[in-house]
Amino acid sequence: MPKVLISDKMSPLAEQTFKERGVDVDYKPGLSPEELIAIIGDYDGLAIRSATKVTPEVLEAATNLKVIGRAGIGVDNINVPAATNGGVIVMNTPFGNSITTAEHAIAMMMALARQIPQANASTHEGKWEKSAFMGVEVTGKTLGLIGAGNIGSIVADRAHGLKMKVIAFDPYLSHERADDLGIQKVELDELLARADFITLHTPLTDQTRGILGAESFAKMKKGVRIVNCARGGLIDEAALKDALDSGQVEGAALDVFEVEPAKENVLFGHPKVICTPHLGASTTEAQVNVALQVADQISEYLMTGGVTNALNTPSVSAEDAPKLQPYMRLAAQIGGFAGQITQSGIVKVTIEYEGHVAGLNTKPLTATLLQGLLSPQMDCVNMVNAPVIAKERNIDITESKHERELDYHTLIKLTVETENQTRTVSGTLFANKAPRIVEVAGVNLEAELTQNMLYVINDDKPGFIGALGSLLGHNGVNVATFALGRKILGEEAVALVAVDEPIKDIVLDQVTALAHVRQAKRLTF
258 near ligand NAD (CB under 6 A):
no
Residue 187: Cβ within 10 Å count:
10
CA triple 458-460-463, angle to 5 deg:
95
Nearer to ligand 3PG, 204 or 351 (CB): 204
Full DSSP string of 370-396 = HHHHHGGGSTT--TTTHHHHHHHTT-E
Which residue in 412, 309, 318 sits closest to 369, CA to CA? 412
Per CB under 6 A, which of residues 70..109 are in contact with ligand NAD? 72-74, 94, 97-98, 101
- Binding segment for ligand 3PG (CB under 6 A), chosen from 33-41, 277-285, 307-315, 398-406, is 277-285
Which of 90, 91, 281, 425 touches ligand 3PG by CB under 6 A? 281
- The interface partner of residue 151, options being ligand NAD, ligand 3PG, none and the CB cut-off 5 to 8 Å by kind, is ligand NAD
* Residue 261, preceding peptide bond in cis (omega within 30° of 0): yes
Which of 65, 151, 395, 457 touches ligand NAD by CB under 6 A? 151
- The interface partner of residue 331, options being ligand 3PG, ligand NAD, none and the CB cut-off 5 to 8 Å by kind, is none
The single residue of 49, 70, 225, 231 carrying the catalytic annotation is 231
Nearer to ligand 3PG, 9 or 409 (CB): 9
3-state secondary structure of 253: strand
Binding mask 109-148 for ligand NAD (x = CB under 6 A): -------------------------------------xxx
Alpha-carbon distance of 212 to 142, in angstroms, equals 18
Is position 231 annotated as part of the catalytic site?
yes
Full DSSP string of 488-525 = STTSEEEEEEEESSPPPHHHHHHHHHSTTEEEEEEEE-
Is position 177 annotated as part of the catalytic site?
no
- Binding segment for ligand 3PG (CB under 6 A), chosen from 216-224, 275-283, 398-406, 478-486, is 275-283
Full DSSP string of 387-434 = HHHHHHTT-EEEEEEE-S-SSSSEEEEEEEEESS-EEEEEEEEETTTE
Alpha-carbon distance of 323 to 317, in angstroms, equals 10
CB of residue 94 to ligand NAD, shortest distance in Å: 6
Which residue in 80, 38, 40, 22 sits closest to 388, CA to CA? 80
The single residue of 49, 104, 201, 278 carrying the catalytic annotation is 278
Nearer to ligand NAD, 234 or 498 (CB): 234
- Binding segment for ligand NAD (CB under 6 A), chosen from 159-167, 229-237, 456-464, 476-484, is 229-237
Q: Which spans in 211-354 are helix H?
A: 214-219, 237-246, 284-304, 320-341
Give the residues lining the site for ligand 3PG (CB under 6 A). Answer: 49-50, 72-74, 97, 278, 280-282
